[in-house]
């Protein structure tokens, strides 16, 4: 079987991973996989079943009955919960908090591992998340780690949330981002951190288009030298 090409993009919330991943996927004709959406779906499921965000481990006994599917649609992954395609309901501040909390639970991470790895075995993918280069795809041909200043990330996230009608201030968004960073990077299992062989890309002062161009240059160079 021909080996697929896997590009891992990790980095904190609001660092521009998904914008870059979508741009790269369309430039290269690869499939974009947003792994955060899987954790967000489990967070939503937990919330719907009355699990407290402060006791995310209570979702574990509910996992076997969960109908969670990832389907490839329109060049990316659509996530379905109980047969319904998830959309904006997993993008609220509450959903972000739940996602970060359930993502600390080892059984939740184990539950999602094979789904992520099998899709990358079968397709050329750009996968974004927190542990893609370290745990999910340690053999990815290219690993990028996105960075942007917390202030810049808070600005971007605020614009998204305001556009969705949330009533929130920049200070609250910055505080949420910092809390989530600490939660994601401080957890015991698969903490959010760069892989040793990751290439850092700081896009604080780059436009989305410039970020894609910078990443494309890195990818092309890496793929030329990698044995693919």
Residues lying near ligand DC in the complex (CB under 6 A) are found at 13, 35-36, 39-40, 99-100, 103, 129-132, 180, 184
* Shortest Å, Cβ 56 to ligand DC: 11
Which C-beta is closer to ligand DC: that of 35 or that of 124? Answer: 35
What distance in Å separates the CA atoms of residue 63 and residue 187, rounded to the nearest whole number? 21
* Shortest Å, Cβ 221 to ligand DC: 25
Q: Where do the H-state alpha helices sit in 50-186?
A: 93-102, 106-122, 150-163, 170-186
Q: Is 29 exposed, middle or buried (0-12, 13-18, 19+ CB in 10 A)?
A: exposed
* Shortest Å, Cβ 26 to ligand DC: 19
Which C-beta is closer to ligand DC: that of 22 or that of 180? Answer: 180
Which C-beta is closer to ligand DC: that of 5 or that of 192? Answer: 192
- The total of other beta-carbon atoms located within 10 Å of residue 216's CB is 15
* Shortest Å, Cβ 75 to ligand DC: 18
Helices then strands, each counted (H, E), the chain: 7, 8
* Shortest Å, Cβ 127 to ligand DC: 8
Alpha-carbon 63 to chain mean position:
20
- CA-to-CA dists, residue 28 to 113, 117, 124, 160, 199, angstroms: 25, 20, 9, 26, 19
Which C-beta is closer to ligand DC: that of 100 or that of 124? Answer: 100
Which C-beta is closer to ligand DC: that of 24 or that of 132? Answer: 132
């Amino acid at each position: 079987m021909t080996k697929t090409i896997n590009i891992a993009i990790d980095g904190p919330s609001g660092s521009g991973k998904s914008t870059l991943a979508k741009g790269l996927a369309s430039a290269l004709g690869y499939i974009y996989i947003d792994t955060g959406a899987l954790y967000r779906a489990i967070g939503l499921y937990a919330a719907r079943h009355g699990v407290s965000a402060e006791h995310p481990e209570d979702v574990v006994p509910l996992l076997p009955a969960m109908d969670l599917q990832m389907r490839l649609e329109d060049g990316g992954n659509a996530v379905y919960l109980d047969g319904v395609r998830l959309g904006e309901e997993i993008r609220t501040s509450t959903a972000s908090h739940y996602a970060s909390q359930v993502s600390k639970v080892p059984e939740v991470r184990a539950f999602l591992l094979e789904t992520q790895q099998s899709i990358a075995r079968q397709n050329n993918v750009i996968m974004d998340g927190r542990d893609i280069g370290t745990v999910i795809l340690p053999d990815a041909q290219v690993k990028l780690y996105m960075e942007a200043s917390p202030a810049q990330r808070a600005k971007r996230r605020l614009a998204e949330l305001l556009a969705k009608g949330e009533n929130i201030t920049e200070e609250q968004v910055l505080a949420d981002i910092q809390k989530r960073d600490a939660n994601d990077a401080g957890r015991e299992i698969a903490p959010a951190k760069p892989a040793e062989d990751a290439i850092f890309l700081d896009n604080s002062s780059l436009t989305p288009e410039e970020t894609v161009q910078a990443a494309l240059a890195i990818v092309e160079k890496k793929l030329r030298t990698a044995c693919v």
